Structure 1
Amino acid sequence: MSVSLCPLAPTYPADPTTPTPETLAYSFTLPAALASPALARAATREVLKAHDLYDMLDPALQAVGELTAIAAQFTEASDFYLSLRYRAGTLRVIVYDSHPRHTQPHLAAACDTRRRAALRVLACVCRACDGAWGFGESREPGGGTRMWTRLPRANAAAYGAGAP
């Protein structure tokens, strides 16, 4: 009778590559709860630090906090999705919530007005950083709403430094 041993898992050396801004690509699923914006800001803070993007902390954390607070308020599901990407000198933050686009035009306009008003601070941050923001119907499976912002690093760094 032969005794068989389970194979050992292969040993992989730790990746010695230091994270850089260009390798920043993270996604989080967060519960639709009041604590989620704080969790999202804490995770974003650590991600930006790990990727040597300290100079973007202030506007990025403000943007993430605003977008996740609105998603937690609007979503009809038990969770929502946050994506952080850095490409071509720009931090991209995208949040998906499950709130569908209304089919009745007046209701859709009222809902858009409510969401836009809730994102006033984000609009100010983006304007100060020469960034962009918006929201619309999600192209992802399951529908819902996609909110996003783009923050160019050079201008976001000036914002964080308190430059006018």
Structure 2
Amino acid sequence: MSLSRCPSAPLYTADPTTPIPETLAYSLTLPAALASPALARATTEKALKTHGLPDLLDPALQAVSELTAVAAQFTESPNFYLSLRYRAGALRLITYDSHPRHTQPHLATACDARRHAALRLLTRVCRACDGDCGFGESREPGGGTRTWATLPREGAAAYGRLC
């Protein structure tokens, strides 16, 4: 009987590239829990500082708080998803929760009004940054709701002066 050795694992060298704004791309799955907005804020703060985007901190942390609090409240599953991306001079924040679009029109209208009310502060933050936010049906395989905020870097600098 011959014994064989497992092949050695290939050596992968760490990428020596310093993180820059354009390489900011993170995705998190968070529990639908009261602690998730704080965890999302801490992660966002570290990511923005690491990628040289401290000027986005104030509006980004407020936006992440609002997005994750609403996703945790509305999701019907034990968790939800958060995406952080920096592209074309703007920070793009997206949450996906499992709350489906209602088929009954009156229920859909009431649910949309409830979600709009919960996102009132997010709307103000985005407007102050010349950004955008909203929600709609998720195109992801599991369905649910996609909620987003876009914060242009130039507008975020103005937001910091307003605070």
Question: What residue ranges of structure 1 are gaps of 5+ in the alignment?
Answer: none
Corresponding residue number in structure 1 for 2:129? 129
Code of the aligned partner of 1:125: V
The 5 A counterparts of 1:10-89 are: 10-89=10-89
RMSD: 1.2
Question: How far, CA to CA, are the matches of 2:98 and 2:152 in structure 1?
Answer: 28
Code of the aligned partner of 1:100: P
Code of the aligned partner of 1:60: A
Question: How far, CA to CA, are the matches of 1:49 and 1:86 in structure 2?
Answer: 13
What CA deviation, in whole Å up to 9, does each residue of 1:97-144 have, x standing for no partner? Answer: 000111111111111000000111101101100000000111111111
| CA-CA distance at 1:9 after TM superposition | 1.4
1:140 equivalent to 2:122? Answer no
TM-score (norm 2): 0.96
Query: Does the residue aligned with 1:83 lie in a helix, a strand or coil?
Result: strand
Question: What residue ranges of structure 2 are gaps of 5+ in the alignment?
Answer: none
| CA-CA distance at 1:5 after TM superposition | 2.1
How many residues in Structure 1 have an aligned counterpart in Structure 2?
A: 163
Corresponding residue number in structure 1 for 2:115? 115
Question: How far, CA to CA, are the matches of 2:139 and 2:3 in structure 1?
Answer: 54
What CA deviation, in whole Å up to 9, does each residue of 1:77-107 have, x standing for no partner? Answer: 0000001111100110010000011111111
Code of the aligned partner of 2:109: A
TM-score (norm 1): 0.95
Question: Where in structure 1 do 4 or more consecutive aligned residues deviate above 3 Å?
Answer: none
| CA-CA distance at 1:11 after TM superposition | 1.9
Query: Does the residue aligned with 2:11 lie in a helix, a strand or coil?
Result: coil
Question: How far, CA to CA, are the matches of 1:10 and 1:141 in structure 2?
Answer: 34
What CA deviation, in whole Å up to 9, does each residue of 1:30-59 have, x standing for no partner? Answer: 000010010011111111111100000000
Corresponding residue number in structure 2 for 1:104? 104
Query: Does the residue aligned with 2:154 lie in a helix, a strand or coil?
Result: helix
Question: How far, CA to CA, are the matches of 2:4 and 2:146 in structure 1?
Answer: 52
